[in-house]
Amino acid sequence: MTLLSTTGGTPASSRGKSRRTRMALREALLALIVEKPLEQITIRELTAAAGVAYATYFRNYADKEALLHDLVADEVATLLALTVPLFVTVDSLASTRALCAYVWERRDLWRALLTGGAAGAMKTEYQRQALLMREKQPLGESWLPADLAVSFCVAGLVEILTWWLKHEDPPSAHDMAEVINRLAVMPLMQPDE
């Protein structure tokens, strides 16, 4: 079920020791990224938190950005799979509720990724994957350019979800689905004249 990182460089041995190393690094980064952006996290403190030697980091990742990208890309793929139905289904509100339910269910993870120092990377990767998806499955004609629609929708989604998970007394997933639908989904539809 878990999508493994698709970092090409390492041979088939990625099931042994180095897999555990990478998992430890990912979890350590996830814990650190909650409080500060990547630039303020040193590789030394990251490896210390993961219980891994400093030099080992560079045998698994080329630089500091590579690990964050790995982590973010995997999780975004899951989120994107729940985002696509918003626009290919007839009942968009139901799909939006499913999306919110999932985010709420894993709110610890998404709070870390969205409200912490990975927010920028999240939006960038989300948009990148969403634009790739659009090319595969082109939507019908619309009153606004398709890539603008994608960029706006993703940016709005990230913004609203971030606000939600940052809030100390957060509204229910049901209410948030209403907000998302009204702000980031419905406005993209063809205006009926």
Binding partner of 13, given DNA, a copy of itself, none, CB within 5-8 angstroms per partner class: DNA
Residue in 13, 15, 39, 192 binding a copy of itself, rule: CB under 8 A: 39
Binding partner of 152, given DNA, a copy of itself, none, CB within 5-8 angstroms per partner class: a copy of itself
Size of the site for DNA (CB under 7 A): 30
Position 104 contacts a copy of itself (CB under 8 A): no
Residue in 53, 147, 174, 190 binding a copy of itself, rule: CB under 8 A: 147
Position 160 contacts a copy of itself (CB under 8 A): yes
Size of the site for a copy of itself (CB under 8 A): 21
Binding partner of 52, given a copy of itself, DNA, none, CB within 5-8 angstroms per partner class: DNA
Three-state secondary structure string covering the chain: CCCCCCCCCCCHHHHCHHHHHHHHHHHHHHHHHCCCCHHHCCHHHHHHHHCCCHHHHHHHCCCHHHHHHHHHHHHHHHHHHHHCHHHHCCCHHHHHHHHHHHHHHCHHHHHHHHHCCCHHHHHHHHHHHHHHHHHHCCCCCCCCCHHHHHHHHHHHHHHHHHHHHHCCCCCCHHHHHHHHHHHHHHHHCCCCC
The distance of closest approach from Cβ of residue 191 to a copy of itself in the complex, given in angstroms and rounded to an integer, is 8
Report which residue type is found at 86.
Answer: L
Q: Under the rule (CB under 8 A), what is the footprint of a copy of itself? A: 39, 120, 144-145, 147-148, 151-152, 155-156, 158-160, 163, 179, 182-183, 186-188, 191
